[in-house]
Amino acid sequence: MADFNVDLPEWKNEGAAPSENLQANGFQAYDKPPAPVFNYLFNRFTRAIQEVRGKFDTTTIPEGADLNTYTTPGMYGQILFDTAQTFINSPLSDKQTGIFLEVIKLNSGSILQILYGALFGGIYKRRLNSGEWSEWTRMATYAEATDLKNLGVTATATELNYLTGVTSNIQEQLDKKLDGDGSGTVAEAVTLTSTTIPEGADLNSYTTAGRYVQILYATAQTLLNNPLSSMETGIVLEVVKGNGGGVFQVLYGVLKGGIYKRRYNSGAWSSWDCMPIVEASTTDLTAGTSTLQSGKIYLVYE
């Protein structure tokens, strides 16, 4: 998404870290700074900037693009909603929202696309197999999955309890259908095909393709290698088998926290990358009156 015009220097000499005393007090007048410290700083500066750029390593989708043609693995995006509305084969072309598109090559040779609405619209996925794209499938939230109207039922649960042949509470039956273990604990369910993540589980061990969830934030906070363990939010974890034996994990915060992704390859997990989510606001940026939140980038326009 970001276009960087300045080439970074290639500083390979890692140098030596400054002493604790030097870090605390800095260079003093008439000091002759040692070369290893300068090499250390220049090397770290370059690596840090490369890491920051990597977070924004998203290719811009141009106006009028056909999403069917996006089969090369990578991250693509367009935050301008009027441009995103011109896209062909986008499930959100009628919405006033930008999009982010993740393209993953599966080990079977097929292509998986995951599309995120930048402002709203939800998360969609589809698959290219044998030259044909499947229909876009919207990934249901917990609220949607437990809503009778979204299940094609227009009567209320109370009304359905009076139907002939009903032997137990309809809502309880629906809850058990939604909950993977059949206990009827609706709070553990997000979609019909999800598996509950137990307390204290290590997300590094989730390498089998599928969807895993833990909607209780107190339990989610106990999960190891969870990038949102410090937040009061449940999570949804999507695991996808990549080409060549790699594994992709995409993690969504249920209430807050954003969307993260990482990859398992050659026996090691990469670090979690936070995928950018754009929010519209009318923040007052007048000097002395603004209260800006940390961890956000503010774009000012007239």
Q: What's the pLDDT tens digit per position in 213-237?
A: 887 888 899 999 999 988 888 888 8
pTM value surpassing 0.85: no
H-helix segments, 56-181? 81-84, 142-145, 157-160, 170-178
Q: From residue 245, give the alpha-carbon distance in Å to each of 27, 104, 109, 248.
A: 50, 13, 12, 10
Look at residue 31 in the predicted model and tell me its pLDDT.
86
Look at residue 117 in the predicted model and tell me its pLDDT.
81
CA 36-7-296 angle, to 5 degrees, is 90
Look at residue 178 in the predicted model and tell me its pLDDT.
42
What are the domain boundaries of the chain? 144-171
Residues of the chain where predicted confidence (pLDDT) is lower than 70: 1-6, 50-58, 107-109, 119-120, 140-194, 242-245, 255, 275-302
Look at residue 165 in the predicted model and tell me its pLDDT.
55
**Cα–Cα distance for residue pair 98/52, rounded to 1 Å:** 22
Residue identified by tokens 């040779």 is: 109
CA 191 from centre of chain = 17
Bridge partners (DSSP) listed for residue 60: 77
Which has the closest alpha carbon to 209: 140, 149, 125, 117?
A: 125
**Cα–Cα distance for residue pair 84/94, rounded to 1 Å:** 9
**Cα–Cα distance for residue pair 302/300, rounded to 1 Å:** 7
> Residue 34: which residues within 8 A CB-CB, separation 6 or more?
none
**Cα–Cα distance for residue pair 21/29, rounded to 1 Å:** 15
Tell which phi-psi region holds residue 121, choosing left (phi > 0), alpha (psi between -120 and 50) or beta. Answer: left
Hey, what are 150's tokens?
């979204």
pLDDT tens, residue by residue, 3-61: 555 677 788 888 898 888 888 888 888 888 889 988 888 888 877 776 655 555 568 89
Look at residue 148 in the predicted model and tell me its pLDDT.
52
